[in-house]
Structure 1
Amino acid sequence: MRDLLFFTLGTTLGGMCGVACMCVLQINRLSEGKGDLDAETKRADTVPTDRGRS
C-alpha cells in the first residue's frame, strides 16, 4: 500500500513538473518570435474574412 502511495505521488508530481516545463519552454519560444513564423505558414491557405469589422 505504501509503494502505491509513493508511485501515485511520484507520477503526479512528475507529470506536473513535466507540464510546467513544457509550458515555460512554449512561452519562451513564443516570446522569441519563432512561433509567429510557424503560425504564418500554417495560416497561409485560409480564406480571409471580414467578420466583426464594419
Structure 2
Amino acid sequence: MSNFLYFILGTTLGGMCGVSCMCVLQISRLSEGKGDANAETECADTVPTDRGRS
C-alpha cells in the first residue's frame, strides 16, 4: 500500500513540475516576441481579410 502511495505522490509531483517548466518556457518565449510573429504567420490564412465586404 505504501508503494502505491509513493507512486501516486511521485506521479503528481512530477506532473506538476513538468507543467510548471512548460509554462515558464512558454512565458519566456512569448516575452521575447517570437510567439506573436509565429502566430501571425501560422494563422494568416484562417483570418478573413474581407470583413464586411460582399
Identify the TM-score tier after normalising by the shorter chain.
0.7 to 0.9
After the TM superposition, which residues 1-12 of structure 1 pair with which residues of structure 2 at under 5 Å, given as runs? 1-12=1-12
Aligned to 1:20: 20
Matched, 1:47 2:48: yes
- TM-score of the superposed pair, with normalisation by structure 1: 0.83
Structure 1 residue runs of 5 or longer lacking an equivalent are: none
CA RMSD of aligned residues (A): 1.2
Q: How many aligned positions are there? A: 50
Cα-to-partner distance string for 1:21-41 (whole Å, 9 max, x where unaligned): 000000000000010111111
In 2, distance between residues paired with 1:38 and 1:22? 18
In 1, distance between residues paired with 2:24 and 2:2? 33
Letter in 2 for 1:26: Q
Aligned to 2:37: 37
- TM-score of the superposed pair, with normalisation by structure 2: 0.83
